[in-house]
């Protein structure tokens, strides 16, 4: 993805620093970058972690994340129903 796609979101210097691991974005910045790329913010976070794994490992991690999200949602619903 060319950095020009993020011109309205952040400077090229900042994006370059993120790519090189010199800076860590805030959640608000992740949201802004995701919006500029037209993807959900979770996609950026997931991609950051998943790119180090094999395809099979990626699928396993995504299944685990889905299961844990469902468990959190159930617990949240149960807590609100009390």
Render pLDDT for 1-59 as a digit per residue (tens, 0 to 9): 566 667 778 888 888 898 898 999 999 999 999 998 899 999 999 998 999 999 999 99
Provide the whole-model pTM: 0.73
The residues spanned by each domain of the chain are 1-51, 53-82
Four-point Cα dihedral 74, 75, 76, 77, nearest 10: 50
Q: Which residues contact 17 (CB under 8 A, 6 or more apart)?
A: 23
Rounded-to-integer distance, Cα 31 and Cα 68, Å:
22
């Amino acid at each position: 993805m060319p950095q020009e796609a993020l011109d309205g979101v952040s400077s090229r210097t900042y994006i370059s620093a993120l790519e090189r691991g010199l800076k860590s974005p805030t959640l608000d910045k992740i949201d802004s970058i995701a919006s500029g790329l037209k993807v959900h913010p979770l996609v950026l976070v997931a991609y950051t972690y998943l790119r180090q794994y094999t395809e099979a490992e990626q699928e396993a991690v995504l299944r685990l994340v889905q299961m844990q999200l469902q468990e959190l949602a159930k617990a949240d619903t149960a807590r609100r129903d009390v």
